[in-house]
Structure 1
Amino acid sequence: MSDPLPPSPAVALPPGLQFIERGWLSANNTVFVVGMTAVVDTGYCSHAEQTVALVESALQGAPLQCVANTHLHSDHCGGNAALQQRWPGAQTLIPPGHAQAVMDWDEAQLTYRPTGQDCPHFRADGVLQPGAEVLLGLQHWQVHAAAGHDPHSVILFEPQSRTLISADALWENGFGVVFPEIEGIAAFDEVAATLDVIEQLRPVVVLPGHGSVFVDVGAALATARRRLEGFARSPERHALYAAKVLLKYKLLEWQQMPLAQVYAWLAATPYYALLHAAYFADQPASGWYASLVADLERSGAASRQGGLLVNQ
């Protein structure tokens, strides 16, 4: 397993904050080891045991007091249940837009069923209300709405150090799939608005949901806006990108899978039916599935070995 990754080059972070860069199956973890001990985002469920071990190591015997999720995609909250089991007294805070869905454990609203992903049932104890502040570690972090990638996502900003926990709203080389667009809900404008919010905050260091810590925020925003403009001009390009990302993500979980089962998973996963009907209905679904697999092979993201599709 390639998760977690080696530390990034030294960047000045708020006292008591440890940033753990994970492989792409699990979102990065931001751990606060003094004051209000906390972890922001908890990785995918297949890495939950490792997430617990990483947090234990960071805390060095101190109890975990808070679990916070920027949003509830499975790679950001898949370790919640394991952390709650390890530290039952820890409070779990989530964005308010999904509070009822968690209470009802509605796997359709939470996107686990539509994406064909897994997330163990966890509880929520409170919300990260946009416009409010939350104590994490020794600092009070501002909560800002960050719709686009997920309509209920938030980002967290610490104004003294100008540190931003950006989740999937901004990476060094882009941003996360715009999931509402898969469901036929226009959201590219919301991505643009969130990028504007980040620019107005003027962070000097960004802790992204995936990838390394970065400080050239202007370059990252410019890259994200160019990418967004391309998707807005050609929504089918974003649709194809989303389809391939979801398949690659599942392959990261499987590592290898018989091709027949890969095609069965594609046929059974609701988001693929939506994407096919909206953008690729001019070709049979089976042919489109085969083209997605072929695209992953051409890019070097996967290979065929006998009857298996293998992660690369």
Structure 2
Amino acid sequence: MSAAAAALLPADLRVLERGWLSSNSILMLADPRGAVLVDTGYCTHAAQTEALVGHALDAAGEKLRLIVNTHLHSDHCGGNARLTETHGCPVWIPPGQFEAVQAWDAAGLSYAPTGQQCPHFKASGILQPGSVLEQAGREWQVMASPGHDPDAVLLFEPNAGVLISADALWEHGFGIVFPEIDGKPGFDEVEQSLDLIESLPVRLVIPGHGAAFTDVSAALNEARSRLAFFRQHPDRHARHAAKALLMFHMLELGEITRADLLSWLDHTPIHINMWRQYFSGKSAKAWSGELIEELARAGALTIDGEMIRCV
């Protein structure tokens, strides 16, 4: 986090930033009722998340009273199960997938289609757009931010000008537009979310991934430029998404044989769906192989014989 961002971060907030496999987690402190945790990262980092949250709570002399999720992708809620077991606190989630969580529909919740893990957790409340989450005298406005995920929300605190943007806005872009790679419209919703953010008096953005930042105009301009490009070239968005999902799997595993990686890709529904929509002029195996080679040339992967490793 830059010095400028750190200067604007309220004393009652802690940002737990990790690698890109896990989302940032934001701990809201200084409330006699207990702390609120926003997002919990991926399940393979759950022990680390538990330790980081526990250390921050102990230092503040507080307990955890509530977990809220900006959306239900596995890298944002994968630590829910472990943290609720440890702290005995409830979980609130955005509307739209409450019933899917209650029934634990792994396909409807995106975990089966993406080939990602998320331990079963229970939700007891809804983080409803238009409502206010009160914590430490602050009123965090809950706002719908569809695009990356149809049911996603962001949180804005107007007095400090702090925006918890999740994957609606990063310093250099935004998250994969999952509806688009599932054959549904999503780019217009991304634009609506960017318009919403631009309308707010934001001074500090805490994104879902990466460091907090203050140059909101520059981030919005870059996001709009990227959105315009993807609208003109939806196949490039799909290719970008496919490489991002492949890298997520590699970050989770660390290393894998080429044969096993190609087999995993061939059995991952969202990957095959993108191939069918945009790249079926060649075999799925050939397309997957191209993605691996592109990531290796970019320095994200190394290929040593049959072994592929994350850099």
* Normalised TM-score (structure 2): 0.96
Offset at 1:138? Answer: 3.5
1:202 maps to: 201
Amino acid at match of 1:63: K
The Cα of 1:33 is off from its aligned counterpart by: 2.3
SS in 2 for 1:96: coil
Contact 1:231 1:237 in 2 (8 A): yes
**In structure 2, what is the Cα distance between the partners aligned to 1:124 and 1:302?**
37
Partner of residue 108, structure 1: 107
CA contact (8 A) 1:15 1:138 kept: no
Structure 1 stretches of 4+ moved >6 Å: none
Equivalent position amino acid for 2:185 in 1: A
Match of 1:81 in 2: 81
SS in 2 for 1:155: strand
Counterpart Cα distance in 1 of 2:201 and 2:20: 26
Contact 2:8-2:203 within 8 A present in 1 as well: no
Note closer, same or farther for the CA distance 1:22–1:136 as it changes in structure 2 (3 Å cut): farther
**Residue type at the aligned position of 2:236:** R
Give 1:132 shift. Answer: 0.6
Deviations 1:138-166 (CA, angstroms, capped at 9, x unpaired): 41100000000000000000011110000
Per-residue CA distance 1:215-244 (angstroms, 9 max, x = gap): 000000000000000000000000000000
Q: CA deviation at 1:15?
A: 3.3
Residue 125 of structure 1 deviates from its aligned partner by: 1.0
Match of 1:49 in 2: 47
Give the secondary-structure state (helix, strand or coil) at the position aligned to 2:169. Answer: coil
Q: What is the aligned partner in structure 2 of residue 37 from structure 1?
A: 35
Cα 1:186/1:254, change in 2 over 3 Å: same
CA drift of 1:306 comes to 2.8
Range that drifts further, 127-136 or 161-170:
127-136
Q: Which amino acid aligns with 1:19?
A: V
Deviation at 1:8, TM superposition (A): 4.6
Aligned to 2:10: 14
Alpha-carbon contact 1:16-1:138 (below 8 Å) kept: no
- 2:261 maps to which residue? 262
Question: Mind listing any 5+ residue stretches in structure 2 that lack a counterpart?
Answer: none
How is 1:278-297 mapped onto 2 (pairs within 5 angstroms)?
278-297=277-296
Aligned to 1:67: 67
Match of 2:236 in 1: 237
Who is 1:127 aligned against? Answer: 126
Deviations 1:39-81 (A, max 9, x none): 1010000000000000001111521101010000000000000
Q: TM-score, normalised by structure 1?
A: 0.96
| Letter in structure 2 aligned against 1:156 | L
Q: Aligned pair 1:26/2:22, yes or no? A: yes
CA contact (8 A) 1:38 1:137 kept: no
Root-mean-square deviation (CA), in Å? 1.0
Paired amino acid for 1:127? I
Match for 1:91: what amino acid? P
Q: Are the counterparts in 2 of residues 158 and 164 from structure 1 also a CA contact under 8 Å?
A: yes
The aligned runs of 1:85-104 (5 Å cut-off) are 85-88=85-88, 90-104=89-103
Aligned residues of 2:95 and 2:127 also touching (Cα < 8 A) = yes
The one-letter amino acid paired with 2:105 is D
